């Protein structure tokens, strides 16, 4: 009987500890989100990059919105594991905002990019960024042209492009399953007239391996 009580007490303490840790991590993520948005607003006002906290090794560089899904997140610079814990981020090996080429943004499948599972071909995506060279906020609208689930070694949609392209990438399947062996990739082309681009057909069906 004493052993049973001891086991119950240990289980209760473990449950409290896990619950407390989950609450702490959630509060930490909420605070980080507030600081990141504040840093983004500071960037727009002051015209220079602002770190969200003094020891941060990243800074907000853009705002990513998908109107139909009411998705609205601040994009950080440098898609490192540490940075991706706080938000979607730009791959440094890809094109920069406002430059021709393949602009690639990554995010976790169970947090920042989980809403992407509801994206459909034809959806609009809006990107805003601060152009330090021109000294002002710039924006570009895209339309989703391709959605694919691929093996990690298939990097064809992550290759550099001559045309202006937006690519969003996350692991697959979505959610908190222990394994995510595939990659979920969304490709979008700009709506701005007169820019180079050869978008895929908007009627292209989703691909499943």
> What are the domain boundaries of the chain?
25-190
Q: Is the pLDDT of residue 9 over 80?
A: no
195 — pLDDT class (breaks 50, 70, 90): very low
Count of all residues that appear for the chain in the document = 209
- Helix or strand (DSSP H, E) at 104: strand 102-106
| Residue 173 preceded by cis peptide, ω within 30 | yes
Q: What is the pTM of this model?
A: 0.80
Q: How many CB atoms lie within 10 A of CB 134?
A: 9
Give helix then strand counts, H and E, for the chain: 2, 8
Q: Is the pLDDT of residue 16 over 90?
A: no
> What is the topology classification, in CATH, of domain 25-190?
Sortase; Chain: A; (2.40.260)
Span 96-129, pLDDT tens digits:
999 999 999 999 999 999 999 999 999 999 999 9
Provide, rounded to the nearest whole percent, the portion of the chain with pLDDT above 70.
78
């Amino acid at each position: 009987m004493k052993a049973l009580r001891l086991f119950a007490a240990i289980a209760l303490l473990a449950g409290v500890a896990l619950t407390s840790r989950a609450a702490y991590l959630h509060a930490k993520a909420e605070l980080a989100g507030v600081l990141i948005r504040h840093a983004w607003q500071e960037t727009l006002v002051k015209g220079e990059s602002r770190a969200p906290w003094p020891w941060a090794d990243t800074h907000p560089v853009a705002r990513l919105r998908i109107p139909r899904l009411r998705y609205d997140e601040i994009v950080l610079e440098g898609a490192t594991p540490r940075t991706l814990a706080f938000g979607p981020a730009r791959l440094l090996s890809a094109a920069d905002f406002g430059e021709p080429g393949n602009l690639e943004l990554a995010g976790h499948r169970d947090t920042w990019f989980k809403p992407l599972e509801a994206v459909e071909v034809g959806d609009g995506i809006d990107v805003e960024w601060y152009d330090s060279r021109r000294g002002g906020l710039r924006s570009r609208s895209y339309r989703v042209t391709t959605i694919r689930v691929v093996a990690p070694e298939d990097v064809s949609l992550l290759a550099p492009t001559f045309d202006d392209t937006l690519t969003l990438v996350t692991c697959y399947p979505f959610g908190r399953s222990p394994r995510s062996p595939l990659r979920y990739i969304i490709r979008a082309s700009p709506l701005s007239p007169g820019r180079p681009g050869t978008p895929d057909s908007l009627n292209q069906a989703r691909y499943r391996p």
